[in-house]
Chain A
């Protein structure tokens, strides 16, 4: 991901704020209506990670649930699985698999619909994963005594990160809606493997600080 993704993230925040201001009158009207605390649960299915498996050898899946509280706050829990298979230009082969969990809350910045079926939102999430990885076809950097191939297997690591998100969700039909989220991520703690630094972290992506990401979700609103 490039810095342009981050710029888009900022634009999204600004746009959302703009819509919030322009919808100020609507909000005033809405405030007059007493909105119940519980407004339903939406289940989101990640459609980008499985699609990525069509083009790369990496694959994954995640599902998340968020609870609509007063159309304003959306506590979110996401669990996922990622299987990474990457080969560098130098031929280093990295494979990793692991589960991850993300907890956080989103705040609607602007919405319409009785239960915020369409909305802009921003939020903050904490992600955590414990995983193992293998490194193959490792060549030592140029050495006077010659190079050698090596492998590092069953390296165990853990990582936690903070994720600032902004996105949009739009009602499609019936209980279905669609949305994307841009993510601005930064690791808070990474415990390295015994002989290596993990190159990729499930749920986080490439182990760089900061990192950015995009997620597309198809949402299903539970009927209660």
Chain B
């Protein structure tokens, strides 16, 4: 009896065993989230028309969008990343530009075969040119695949 059971169960095991991919259930977005606040940080500010692009790049991340927060990807091959933030004045055709400079150190992080590799960073400092935003303050310097408020930009 044992031998028949061994033969049958071995066959069943071989038929039932299969490999499958588990997929990636982790978010792989790694961004610095910058929130707009009033000068005294008393309240959040939402601009009606915001455009953002990287210095040295033509492609827009935000194009005339109404936002109170922007998510910026850091350059994994550099220790400094610069973005231009352009805001259109309400009720006019005037545009104001500011450049935010983010200084960071990078560390690649392999999550899994399905999710692949991300680059985590530590934000060391940041500054603006002061044309729109009077100050930039780091709240959380750890840039990983979790959404949190990293930088406060005071308008």
Q: Which of A156-170 contact B (CB under 8 A)?
A: 168, 170
Pair B3/A214 contact, Cβ less than 8 Å: no
Closest partner residue, chain A, to B14 (CB atom) = A214
Residue A53, interface by CB 8 Å: no
B116 contacts A141, CB within 8 Å?
A: yes
A208→B113 CA distance, assembly (Å): 11
Residue A201 at the B interface, CB < 8 A?
Answer: no
Residue A179 at the chain B interface, CB threshold 8 Å: yes
Contacts of B10 in A (CB 8 A): 180, 216
- CB of B18 within 8 A of CB of A1, answer yes
In this assembly, does A154 line the interface, its C-beta being within 8 Å of a C-beta of chain B? no
Given A140-B108, A195-B110, residue A89 in contact with residue B117 (CB < 8 A): no
* A90 at the B interface (CB under 8 A): yes
Do A139 and B117 contact each other (CB < 8 Å), given the known contacts A145-B81, A152-B108, A168-B5? yes
Residues in A with CB closer than 8 Å to B42 are: none
Q: Mark A36-77, 1 if CB is under 8 A from B, else 0.
A: 000000000000000000000000000000000000000000
Interface digits, A168-182 against B, CB 8 Å rule (1 contact, 0 not)?
101100000011101
Please give, as numbers and ranges, the residues of chain A lying within 8 Å of B113 by CB-CB distance: 86, 88, 90, 92, 94, 199
Shortest Cβ gap from A90 to chain B (Å): 6
Q: Please determine whether B109 and A195 come into contact, CB atoms closer than 8 angstroms.
A: yes
Interface mask (A7-50 → B, CB under 8 Å = 1, otherwise 0): 01000100000000000000000000000000000000000000
- Please give, as numbers and ranges, the residues of chain A lying within 8 Å of B20 by CB-CB distance: 2
Q: Measured between alpha carbons, how far is A152 from B111 in the docked complex, in Å?
A: 12
From known contacts A112-B2, A168-B5, infer whether A138 and B108 are also in contact, taking CB-CB under 8 Å: yes
Q: How far is the CA of A206 from the CA of B21 in the complex (A)?
A: 10
**Docked complex: B89-148 residues within 8 A CB-CB of A:** 107-119
CA distance A178 to B59 in the complex (A): 64
Chain B residues with Cβ below 8 Å from A207 are 112
Residue from B19, B76, B114 in contact with A140 in the complex, judged by beta carbons closer than 8 Å: B76
Chain A interfacial positions (CB closer than 8 Å to B):
1-2, 4-5, 8, 12, 86, 88-90, 92, 94, 112, 118-119, 135, 138-141, 143-146, 148, 150, 152, 168, 170-171, 178-180, 182, 193, 195-197, 199, 206-208, 214, 216
A sample of 5 inter-chain contacts (CB < 8 A) reads A4-B16, A138-B108, A141-B118, A152-B108, A196-B109
Nearest 9 Cβ contacts at the A-B interface: A196-B110, A118-B2, A88-B113, A138-B117, A145-B75, A141-B28, A144-B73, A4-B16, A170-B6
Point out residues on B near A: beta carbons under 8 Å.
Answer: 2-3, 5-6, 9-10, 12-13, 16-22, 28, 30, 54, 57, 59, 61, 73-78, 81, 107-119
